Amino acid sequence: MYSKQLKIGVLGSGDVGRVLASAFLKEGHQVMLGTRDPSKDQVVKWKKENSSGSTGDFADTAAFGDILVLATAGSVSLSVIEMAGKDNF
């Protein structure tokens, strides 16, 4: 069984991103949920329900993660990657 705790950055705070972030937390990993707007209602609600997780903008999230998960619509993926900053990959 693999038991190393990882720092996982989830880029995207829509339904898929929030579900994945919650699941990684339940497996014992450190998680940051990345979004354009950390004060968005859905993100604030996720943080309240997942107090051990953190939230941030895309650049903070990409810098945080040992592993990054891109959970965005295809039409905005390139923009999200650019906002995250190539040096964070």
What domain range is 72 assigned to? 25-88
Q: Is residue 16 part of a domain?
A: no
Q: Does residue 72 come out as left (phi exceeding 0), alpha (psi in the -120 to 50 range) or beta?
A: beta
Partner residues linked to 31 by β-bridges: 8
What tens digit of pLDDT does each residue of 31-42 get?
999 999 999 999
61 inside domain: yes
pLDDT in tens, 40-80: 999 999 999 999 999 999 999 999 999 999 999 989 999 99
If you search the block for the tokens 């707007």, which residue do you land on? Answer: 37
Total tally of structural domains belonging to the chain: 1
Does 73 map to a domain?
yes
Q: Give the separation between CA 63 and CA 57, rounded to whole angstroms.
A: 10
